[in-house]
Amino acid sequence: MTGRVVAVHRSSSHHFSKETEDAITLVEGLGVEGDAHAGRTVKHRSRVARDPSAPNLRQVHLLQSELFDELVARDHAVFPGDLGENITTRGIDLLALPAGSVLHLGATAQVEVTGLRNPCSQIDRFQPGLMAAVLARDAQGQLVRKAGVMAVVRRGGIVRPQDTIVVHLPAMPHKVLEPV
């Protein structure tokens, strides 16, 4: 299973959206160099308030660009970086990956998928009605969170737009992604 990097983003402050960059550097065990969410322990404000010593399972946020296609078609002007992701992808159904999947990004970087991003109220503050647009229900009535996946950096490296992404699935049995 392969895809590609569409865009890369980071922000040194806790803003909702992230600036598009020519390249980002992933640092093993920490996240995106220069990003406010990088670190071994939690950096997201809501997580820090609960337990500042908890491990950071949200070092890197990946979002498939196919979601932007869907949102634009539903009259939401939302584009790469707007939803706070670090890496915008194309060609891989990130939401269908099992926990523990390893994504090889470019020449050397590797991230391990830890879980789903749980959309929060900031999404509606960014654009009214967007929260409902990034949530759905499957055929069984279960909630589907479409706001991307979270990962930890297993091997550092530089990631750029147009880099290839190669997916390696974990050993069976696969564990379904849950919010982290």
Coil, helix or strand at residue 119: coil
Distance CA 155, CA 109 (A): 5
- Give DSSP secondary structure letters for 62-115: EEEHHHHHHHHHTT----TTTT--SEEEESS-GGGSPTT-EEEETTTEEEEEEE
User: Which residue is associated with the tokens 């706001």?
Assistant: 147
Q: What pLDDT, on the 0 to 100 scale, is given for residue 180?
A: 94
Q: What's the average model confidence in pLDDT over 55-82? A: 97
User: What local confidence, expressed as pLDDT, does residue 52 receive?
Assistant: 93
Percent of the chain surpassing pLDDT 90: 92
CA 167 vs CA 40, 65, 110, 170: distances in Å: 24, 17, 10, 10
Farthest-apart Cα atoms in the chain, separation: 41
- In the predicted structure, residue 1 carries a pLDDT above the cut 90: no
Mean pLDDT for the stretch of residues 35-49: 92
> Model pTM?
0.97
Fold of 2-168: M1 Pyruvate Kinase; Domain 3 (2.40.33)
- pLDDT: which is higher, 143 or 121: 143
147: pLDDT strictly greater than 90: yes
**Structure token pair of residue 110:** 């590797």
Cα–Cα distances (Å) from 23 to 6, 26, 32, 128, 158, in that order, read 11, 10, 10, 31, 7
Q: Domain residue spans in the chain?
A: 2-168
Q: Which pLDDT does position 46 carry in this prediction?
A: 84
What does the block give as tokens for 5? 């990097």
Residue 33's identity, in one-letter code, is E
150-179 pLDDT, tens per residue? 999 999 999 999 999 999 999 999 999 999
